[in-house]
Amino acid sequence: MCSMRTLKALVVSSIFILVASTAHAQTRTWVSGVGDDVNPCSRTAPCKTFAGAISKTAAGGIINVLDPGGFGAVTITKAITIEGPEKWGGILNTLVNGVIVNAGASDTVVLRGLSIDGAGSGTNGVRFLAGGKLVIEDCYIAGSATGVDFEPSGNSKLEMLDTTVNNTTANAVLVQAGASGNASASMERIKLTNGAFGLKVGKGVVSVKGAIVSNMSTTAVKATASTAVAQITLVDALVSDNGGGVNAAGALGKVFLSDSTITNNTVGVSNATGGAVTSFGNNNIAGNATDGSPSSTIVQH
């Protein structure tokens, strides 16, 4: 009889532990402006912050935003998706980073429908240190020194889609792999406005299609490298109203231009210290104070 009672107790305990574990590691959780982080982060009892929800979300899971609100800065150390419709997922990151990604080598992190605002004093909107892949889609990032700081320590990929980065003081987007890292990035339908540098690549290979880069006081698009390749392929872009338009600097700084318009800049196109801007011969470079010219033109295939 004792043995039966003991067995039943063990079974009940095991079920309780399993249920408790599942509750603390759900594949889908929810946050709300009127939520509370003591809640289980369910749809009917949502959490208040992304930081509160992430600890209750399983690796590879999704944090959904129920309604517009400010959900706080967050550090991500595992595969996760944070998703807010209509950019409802607000993060106010004054004096700090909005999102830090320091995940595993094969982890994919997705940020979708977020509004990350440093209010003029943010450090980085998104700072990527490690992970397999970062996807930034349909986001608005503003008010930080750098909007997206992609500096992986390993081999990592960045995808940016339908995203605006505005009002930065250093770089809208910086791609700069670490000493032992490699960075590759693809960007489509992005808008970078109002800052010092727009897209700056120091180590990495970046492809961009459908971009507007404007009102950058220093340079809109820049690849600069002397010891590791920094390469940008720019297709169907409008680069206007900047100090410098497109610049390649250093022996391994390379920019390839196709079907793009570069106009109303102080200097349209420039090459420095061995850098090379190469045209596919189908660009409009005119209406700048100094137009400049690509270092070479290659035949389209």
pLDDT-derived band at 300, boundaries 50, 70, 90: confident
Name residues whose C-beta falls within 8 Å of residue 4's C-beta, 6 or more positions apart in sequence: none
| Count of residues in the chain | 301
Helix boundaries (H) for the chain? 2-24, 50-54
**Does residue 44 surpass a pLDDT of 70?**
yes
Neighbours of 186 (CB within 10 A): 15
State what percent of residues in the chain have pLDDT above 70. 92
- Mean pLDDT calculated for residue range 53-81: 98
pLDDT-derived band at 235, boundaries 50, 70, 90: very high
Q: What is the pLDDT of residue 5?
A: 52
Q: Which domains are seen in the chain, by residue range?
A: 57-297 (2.160.20.10)
Average pLDDT, the chain: 94
**Long-range Cβ contact pairs of 86-91 (< 8 A, separation 24 or more):** 86/113, 87/113, 87/114, 87/115, 87/138, 87/139, 87/140, 88/113, 88/115, 89/31, 89/50, 89/65, 89/113, 89/114, 89/115, 90/114, 90/115, 90/116, 90/117, 91/50, 91/115, 91/116, 91/117
pLDDT-derived band at 12, boundaries 50, 70, 90: very low
**Does residue 47 surpass a pLDDT of 50?**
yes
Characterize the bridge pairing of strands 99-102 and 133-137. unpaired
**Does residue 9 surpass a pLDDT of 50?**
no
Q: What is the pLDDT of residue 301?
A: 77
pLDDT-derived band at 143, boundaries 50, 70, 90: very high
- pTM for the model: 0.91
DSSP conformation class of 56: T
pLDDT-derived band at 299, boundaries 50, 70, 90: confident
**Does residue 22 surpass a pLDDT of 80?**
no
- Mean pLDDT calculated for residue range 120-148: 99
pLDDT-derived band at 15, boundaries 50, 70, 90: very low
**Does residue 23 surpass a pLDDT of 60?**
no
Strands (E), 167-275: 171-176, 182-224, 230-240, 244-249, 253-258, 261-263, 267-272
**Does residue 24 surpass a pLDDT of 80?**
no
Rounded CA separation 208/186 (Å) = 6
The tens digit of pLDDT for each residue in 240-297 reads 999 999 999 999 999 999 999 999 999 999 999 999 999 999 999 999 999 999 999 9
Tokens of 151: 């500096």
State what percent of residues in the chain have pLDDT above 90. 90
pLDDT-derived band at 21, boundaries 50, 70, 90: very low
**Does residue 13 surpass a pLDDT of 60?**
no
**Does residue 2 surpass a pLDDT of 50?**
no
Q: What is the pLDDT of residue 33?
A: 96
Rounded CA separation 142/153 (Å) = 25
